[in-house]
Amino acid sequence: MTQATRPQCIQNPEHIDATAIRAAIADGKQVLVQFNTLGEPQPLLADLDALAATCGTALTIRIYGYDPRVFDTRILRALPHVASLSIDCHRNALYLETLGELRHLKRLSLGVYELAQADILQLENLRGLEHLHLGESAKDNIDLAPLRHYARLSSLTIEGHHQHIDTLAGLPALRDLSLYRIKNKVALDFVSGMERLRQLKLQLGGRVSLADIEAPLLEQLEVIRVRGLQQLGDIGRFPLLQALWVEDQIKLRQVVLGPNTALERLNLHTCKTLDSLPGLAALPALRQLSASETLLDVDALLQDLPASLTHVRLRTGKKTRDDAIATQLAERGYSNARL
């Protein structure tokens, strides 16, 4: 699983150290200032807003975990300059339409479990968003149709929501798409219409096959714990793919690798019926291979590895056997694959 660079996190601060935050941002870091039920942000919001006015999306302000209290969104009126905002892990929220008053917003993470405003994406100022994360709700009923107006949206994460999900095919700037808990009955054929898609993550939910998904410019693909998945299809249909991560797919018996001349990283974990990797030996650019808890024949695999490999990690889950494999790999000059 690819890991994004974690921001510098400041939890429930008693005061805002603007000098330190600006220094961190000047050093290229992202800064996250967050509050939960133990920290009251109200007295600090004026200082945070002054920072937000000059730091833009490098500063994220997060207010989370008000359960069982109802979150009053009107508190955000004290942050008119916020560009990156996370309002998540709430059970209930009132006056969510206040989000429509934040004219500088570029990044938004929204997670309210008992969300009443299914039409929240109609707020006109949200059309300027570049990054959007829609957290799960009890009914997963956010209407995605208004996204057709989000011409600048480049990164989108959706947890469960699927009403008018085919709207995503028309988003001109969307490059990164993460879909969590999308039910089997929801077709994903719209993905093939997303011509600029570079990264696709599918996690949880259910699906038998992904063979029909086309994405000619895709560079990263992650498929994790998708219930019932039996087929990925020929990975060769993603000619620019650089990284593939497949995890917790207990019905997946093979991963067919085609002319994937750009593939550098391959991770296969807890795929307990996986016994075949046709095309592996022919991958010219593969640098890292990590496989654990599969049915792959390790001895046979060791005889057919591509010459380009420098980092290899193969594990069966049995310590004695894994130690012996690690010794073999070290003797062949391989470093341990980085996860």
Domain of 125, CATH number, reads 3.80.10.10
Same domain, residue pair 253 and 170: no
Cα distance between residue 87 and residue 269, in whole Å: 33
15 and 164 inside one domain: yes
In a domain, 182, yes or no: no
What does residue 145 show for φ and ψ, rounded to 5 degrees? -55, -40
- Low-confidence stretches of the chain (pLDDT < 50) are none
- Indicate whether 165 and 83 sit together in one domain: yes
In a domain? residue 85 = yes
User: Does a structural domain hold residue 192?
Assistant: no
Domain-ending residue, one of 174, 207, 233: 174
Q: CA-CA distance, 75 to 91, in Å (whole number)?
A: 17
Structure tokens given for 170: 């028309």
Q: Two tokens at 325?
A: 């494999």
Confidence (pLDDT) at 8: 96
Residues 96, 209 within the same domain: no
Q: Is residue 133 part of a domain?
A: yes
Flag whether 187 is in a domain: no
Angle at 255 between CA 250 and CA 258, to 5 degrees: 170
The predicted pLDDT at position 331 comes to 93
Please tell me whether residues 63 and 123 are part of one structural domain.
yes
In a domain, 320, yes or no: yes
- Are 29 and 130 part of one and the same domain? yes
| Structural domains in the chain (count) | 2
User: Is the same domain home to 231 and 158?
Assistant: no
Res 242: pLDDT: 98
Count of residues in the chain: 339
Query: pLDDT value at position 255?
Result: 98
Of the candidates 216, 210, 162, 209, the residue with the CA atom closest to the CA atom of residue 193: 216
Identify whether residues 113 and 218 lie together within a single domain.
Answer: no
**29 and 85 part of one domain:** yes
Asked whether residue 336 falls in the same domain as residue 260, the answer is: yes
77/202 same-domain check: no
* pLDDT at res. 4: 63
Q: Which domain holds residue 77?
A: 7-174
> Is 57 inside a domain boundary?
yes
pTM: 0.94
